[in-house]
Amino acid sequence: MEMTAITERPGLSDLVIGIGRITARGLLLRGTAHEVAALLRAGLPGPDILTPEERAGVPGGYVSHVLHAQQDFSITAVVWQPDAETVVHDHVSWCAFGVISGIEHETLYRDMGDHLVEIGRADNLPGDASGFAPPGDIHRVRNTSGEVGVSLHVYGADIGKLGSSIRRTYDLPIR
């Protein structure tokens, strides 16, 4: 995944301040994720948070642009081509996301040791936001719309330092 950083973006400053206030409260991981999702739901930035070149994405896949990174949280924008999908994975910390465009289809799994079991599915539409935290955050995400999708992701970790929010990927059979 390519990572870029630009400091001046419409709506980013207010988002950084709001997320900083939430993380300063010292909530449990799941509570922080849900509060940040509520913040995104109430004031998700528009597509102009990315440049036109960034919104174009990469052919056949997805790309993540780091918009802000600090020790306790990072904000990235993910640009998804139609049908682009992640591998099955989990995260290093809590996560919240909001969909700006496209449809983020998410499939959730439970690790049974020698295989995964599907435990849920959701179609996240523009304006939708959600949050989750480990354990129980194993999923795969796919843009099921016919347009380039853009979503904002907030992670409870310094993605600028880590390079990715993914803790591990899963290559187990799904039953």
- Asked if the model's pLDDT at residue 65 lies above 80, the reply is yes
Q: What pLDDT was estimated at residue 8?
A: 80
Query: For 43-64, what is each residue's pLDDT tens digit?
Result: 999 999 999 999 999 999 999 9
Q: Where are the domains of the chain?
A: 12-169
Rounded alpha-carbon distances, angstroms, from residue 21 to 14, 26, 40: 11, 10, 14
3-state DSSP assignment of residue 159: helix
pTM, rounded to two decimals: 0.92
Summarize the confidence of residues 106-122 as an average pLDDT: 97
Q: What pLDDT was estimated at residue 136?
A: 84
Classify the C-alpha dihedral 15-18-21-26 as positive or negative: negative
Summarize the confidence of residues 3-15 as an average pLDDT: 73
Query: For 140-174, what is each residue's pLDDT tens digit?
Result: 999 999 999 999 999 999 999 998 999 999 999 99
Q: Which CATH superfamily is domain 12-169 in?
A: Jelly Rolls (2.60.120.10)
| Closest by CA position to 155, among listed 138, 131, 135 | 131
| Closest by CA position to 89, among listed 116, 62, 58 | 116
Rounded alpha-carbon distances, angstroms, from residue 157 to 23, 57, 68, 129, 131: 11, 24, 11, 19, 14
- Asked if the model's pLDDT at residue 3 lies above 80, the reply is no
Both tokens assigned to 130:
């959600």
Q: What pLDDT was estimated at residue 7?
A: 52
